[in-house]
Amino acid sequence: MQLKRADVVAGAIALLDDDGLDGLTMRKLGARLGVQAGAIYWHFKDKEALLGAMADRIIGEALDPPLAPGTWDAQLTEYAMRARRAFLAHRDGARVVSGTYVQEQNTVYAGEMGVRLLTDAGFPLDRAGWVLFALEYYILGHTIEEQAQQQAGDWEDRGIEDTELLRAMSDVVRSDPEERFAYGLELFLDGVRLRLKQARS
């Protein structure tokens, strides 16, 4: 049976889930798919292009089903929560997305949706792009740290001296990650609402 592009992406994501980003090689992917690594290059010119397609597939998981109707900030909140879950659903998922700058279907759609929400609310077009980048940085940064924390173990096990910083950070890492994410997201959106108010005045 002929190897299809979608088969390569699906196999690559499965390998990512098993071995992580550092274990994802074209040779191992070829073995998993039962082909020579060269067959993959018929569909992707290099590993970077493959990672871009994987990132687009992961982002697509945050877009299905379509967002519920609502205000601009409610919809951005829903998208951010979904994106976090999509990144966490795959080992090193946030690292894959953070390392790529693709212009594929899901990524373009997510960007266009965000720009439309913000410009319809009253943001100038250029600043709408800035807001979206900042939001994406927050989602990715939080999720990368979340996945790294899962691998590093408890904060107290790292031999750090008992200080106010240790106690403060212990509270952070013991908290529910989704609740912590939602809190930071609301802080971010509070700032966006303030800038929007200024843009409207």
pLDDT of residue 36: 87
167, pLDDT greater than 80: no
One-letter-per-residue 3-state SS of the chain: CCCCHHHHHHHHHHHHHHHCHHHCCHHHHHHHHCCCHHHHCCCCCCHHHHHHHHHHHHHHHCCCCCCCCCCHHHHHHHHHHHHHHHHHCCCCHHHHHHCCCCCCHHHHHHHHHHHHHHHHHCCCHHHHHHHHHHHHHHHHHHHHHHHHHHHHCCHHHHCCCCCHHHHHHHHHHHCCHHHHHHHHHHHHHHHHHHHHHHHHC
Within-domain flag for 23:
no
Domain that holds residue 94: 68-200
In a domain, 56, yes or no: no
| Global pTM exceeds 0.85 | yes
Domain for residue 193, yes or no? yes
Share of the chain above pLDDT 70, in %: 93
Single out the residue of 185, 17, 21 nearest to residue 95, CA to CA: 21
pLDDT exceeds 80 at position 156: no
In a domain, 149, yes or no: yes
| Least trusted range by pLDDT, from 61-75, 106-120, 144-158 | 144-158
Nearest to 143 by CA among 184, 112, 100: 184
Specify the number of domains making up the chain. Answer: 1
Model confidence band, residue 1 (pLDDT cutoffs 50, 70, 90): low
For the segment 155-176, the average pLDDT, to the nearest whole number, is 70
The band of 182, judged by pLDDT with boundaries at 50, 70 and 90, is very high
Residue 124, domain CATH: 1.10.357.10
As a whole number, the mean pLDDT across the chain is 90
The token pair at 66 is 């379509």
Can you tell me the distance from the alpha carbon of 138 to that of 135, in angstroms, rounded to the nearest whole number? 5
The yes-or-no verdict on residue 134 having pLDDT over 60 is yes
Q: Which amino acid is at 106?
A: N
Q: Pick the residue with more confidence: 167 or 128? A: 128
For residue 161, being part of any structural domain is answered with yes
Does residue 52 lie within any of the structural domains? no
At 160 the pLDDT is 60
CA 54 to each of CA 69, 98, 147, 193: distance values in angstroms, whole numbers, following the listed order? 28, 11, 18, 33
The residue type found at 69 is P
> pLDDT at position 199, please?
81
Q: Is there a domain that residue 20 lies in?
A: no
Q: Indicate whether 51 belongs to any domain.
A: no
- pLDDT value of residue 157: 58
Predicted pLDDT of residue 153: 54
Q: What is the pLDDT of residue 82?
A: 98
The pLDDT of 88-103, averaged and rounded, is 91
